Chains A and B, each alone.
Chain A
Amino acid sequence: MRLFGMVWSEMVRRPGPSAAALVVVAFGVAALVAVESVATSSEKRVAGQMRTLGANVLVLPAETTLQDYYAADSHGESLPEEYASRITMAQLKGVEELSPRLSVECELDESSVVLTGVLPRQEFYEQSAWQSFDLLTADIDSFETGGGLGRKHEGCCGRTCQLTTEEKRSLASYAKTRIVHELDRDSVLVGADVAEEHGFAGGETVRLLGADFRVAGVLPRTGTVDDARLLGHLHRVQEVSDSGPVVNVIEVMGCCDAMAADLVGDLKDLLPGARVVTIANLVEAQVTVNGLMKRLSYVLFAVLVVLGGASVASVMFANVSERRRELGTLMALGATPSTVGRMVILKAATLGVAGAVLGVGLGAVSAYAVGLRYLGFTVSTPPAIVLTGFGTALLVAVVASYVPARRAARLDPCTCLQEL
């Protein structure tokens, strides 16, 4: 530590020579950390969406474009609600849940909110039940012949599963499924943010689009646009908004990822006038961007290594040169060549670490700000990226200082006696 004390004192008291290298290293690390953080967070988000929504398919009006899965009903276009019945009646394999939605803007206490009409799960079950006889005869036939949904997907139940566990019936499940189990026509469910803003807890009466609704409950926080919405029965919302039997989107929840591809094809055949997309389609652009960002981070890594290394090497060479007499004096006073060499490397390592600290901090804050302002999601910096930033900066600094350190170690202490 005595060596480090000397190195640190010199750096602190003579910051000028090291400042440029510090800045280069810090910015290099910051850029690497920021890009990697954004790319990693985005990848995680995409993976999370694929995990929770991978088996889901959206049926949209033909000309809509979509950026955010959870705001799939916010485009203002509509399609007939009968499309949902077509899907139900087509007996498509692998359809587990169905959620048609219609969103309308309305006023609540002089502020604008979105009222979203949803069809409760029980109504979907009811429509499925109309096909009981067809379903069970098909099931018996496939049981005999060895095909069918049950054989293909262990644990999947498709539309034939109407198990209404407490979990499914509770509002808490909404956070995971975005499906309401039961909802009567004159009730609304309130999103978490709306409840907080207006002080709803359940039981209140609200007036929306000229009609009174009872607040039946508060939805759990989902982290999606639903937190800022009210949910009502689809048919009641259609009535009060005079929109007729239309919806903005039909969300089809498949039983598993493996069925999603088949479902897309079936739905496209069934509804030629609609646009059918999966979460994979939606995140395709994001996946491409993530790939580009990953490649960019490799380029930045290379730039950090080259520029940072060159900068550190340059500073250390200059440092050794301008301190020749000082280092010679140290040797005359008893410092070994290896001590002098170690001092140079230690100084470079300190530069590297200091640059990494600044760079990681700057990079993490920048990434967070970019995520908040431009990307709409929280960007975090995982420990692995912090370690990469530190490791790279330290390694580059130490390697770049190797030759200057050797030069310093080979200094002739007699340089202090040169004036003779």
Chain B
Amino acid sequence: MRIELWTVTLLLSLPGLASAATPGERVEAAAASGKHSYVMFYRSDDDRTQSMAETIEGFVSQRPDETSWVKVNVTDSAGKDLVERFKASRLPLPAVFGLAPNGAITFVRKLAVDTDTLEGGIVTPQCSAMVEALQRQKVTVVCFHPSGSPAIPKGVQALARDRNLGPQLSFVSAIADDPAEARFFQRMRVERDITSPAVLVFAPPGSFIGRFPANVSSATLAKAIHGSGKCNCKKCRHGN
């Protein structure tokens, strides 16, 4: 894997060869470098397309270490894999997707985009893990820990061991004194000076089930998850 990364990076650094990479490959390379990508689809180079392109270009040029972007014509075979992945030929165009390095889609916008949206599409590593899990149809339990205390609450641990619910769940942790996750705390409205863990539960594709204290029992969590009507465990899928 590392060899491949180096290979791609080397190849892309060679003049003339970078432009030969397909948009899909360029997105993969950006992800490999830990960058967020903006994938813009268009059909014709009209005013809207140009406006969107300028906005994205302007933003990315100010954050070259964090972001990159590609512009894909839906009729061009070079971008066929991205067009098919996002069914772009059936979208109102131009349209732009924000992708985290782990492949999670952080936003999608049609016809126009602003810099606030582009900014908001840059998420922390744990946040992108949460979004990616939700996009895999997993109920996601996010533990926000106080500084220096990454211990997973017991109730959450017990929940992970639940035979019915466990396979439906994904777990993410963020620690208050990790500067990389500061924005995650802020976006999830969790105070960074918490003295005990806060447990937040989300159902796919993106609904907030609840916030629980550190001493929450697995039974309480399970009840909240089943009761949300958004659980896909065997019990809920069979309508029990």
Chain A residues at the B interface, C-beta cutoff of 8 Å: 81-86, 89, 125, 127-137, 139-141, 143-144, 150, 155, 157, 159-167, 169, 235, 245
How far, in whole Å, are A148 and B134 apart by their CA atoms in the complex? 20
B232 at the interface (CB under 8 A from A): yes
Q: Is the CB of B238 within 8 A of A139?
A: no
Main secondary structure of the interface of A (DSSP, over half): helix
Which residues of B from 120 to 142 have beta carbons under 8 Å from A?
123, 127, 131, 134-135, 137
With both chains docked as a complex, state the minimum distance between the C-beta of B117 and any C-beta of chain A, in angstroms: 9
Q: A131-B108, A132-B105, A136-B134 given as contacts; is B239 within 8 A of A160 (CB)? A: no
Q: Is the CB of A162 within 8 A of B137?
A: yes
With both chains docked as a complex, state the minimum distance between the C-beta of A97 and any C-beta of chain B, in angstroms: 14
With both chains docked as a complex, state the minimum distance between the C-beta of B95 and any C-beta of chain A, in angstroms: 8
Identify which of B90, B127, B231, B232 contacts A81 (C-beta below 8 A).
B90
A-B pairs with beta carbons under 8 Å apart, 19 shown? A82-B90, A83-B92, A84-B90, A85-B90, A85-B92, A85-B110, A125-B205, A127-B87, A129-B137, A129-B204, A129-B206, A130-B135, A133-B131, A136-B206, A136-B207, A143-B208, A162-B203, A167-B239, A235-B90
B107 at the interface (CB under 8 A from A): yes
B37 at the interface (CB under 8 A from A): no
With both chains docked as a complex, state the minimum distance between the C-beta of A153 and any C-beta of chain B, in angstroms: 12
Q: A130-B105, A135-B207, A157-B229 given as contacts; is B92 within 8 A of A82 (CB)? A: yes
Q: A129-B134, A136-B134 given as contacts; is B97 within 8 A of A161 (CB)? A: no
B48 at the interface (CB under 8 A from A): no
How far, in whole Å, are A166 and B135 apart by their CA atoms in the complex? 21
With both chains docked as a complex, state the minimum distance between the C-beta of A145 and any C-beta of chain B, in angstroms: 11
| B68-89 near A? 1/0 per residue, CB < 8 Å | 0000000000000000000101
Q: Is the CB of A130 within 8 A of B237?
A: no
Q: Is the CB of A130 within 8 A of B97?
A: yes
How far, in whole Å, are A273 and B92 apart by their CA atoms in the complex? 14
The 9 closest A-B pairs by CB, nearest first: A135-B206, A136-B206, A160-B207, A132-B206, A129-B205, A139-B208, A82-B92, A132-B134, A132-B205
How far, in whole Å, are A131 and B92 apart by their CA atoms in the complex? 16
Size bracket of the B interface: 35 or more
Identify which of B90, B202, B206, B231 contacts A245 (C-beta below 8 A).
B90
B49 at the interface (CB under 8 A from A): no
Q: Is the CB of B229 within 8 A of A162?
A: no
Q: Is the CB of A136 within 8 A of B108?
A: no
Give every chain B residue within 8 A of A157 (Cβ-Cβ): 207, 229-230
Which residues of B from 180 to 234 have beta carbons under 8 Å from A?
187-189, 202-208, 229-232
Give every chain B residue within 8 A of A83 (Cβ-Cβ): 92
- Looking across the interface, which residue of chain B has its beta carbon closest to that of A139? B208
B236 at the interface (CB under 8 A from A): yes
Give every chain A residue within 8 A of B110 (Cβ-Cβ): 85-86, 89
Give every chain B residue within 8 A of A85 (Cβ-Cβ): 90-92, 110
Identify which of B134, B135, B229 contacts A163 (C-beta below 8 A).
B229
Identify which of A81, A89, A144, A164 contacts B108 (C-beta below 8 A).
A89
Q: Is the CB of B206 within 8 A of A165?
A: no
- Looking across the interface, which residue of chain B has its beta carbon closest to that of A238? B90
Q: Is the CB of B207 within 8 A of A139?
A: yes
With both chains docked as a complex, state the minimum distance between the C-beta of A93 and any C-beta of chain B, in angstroms: 13
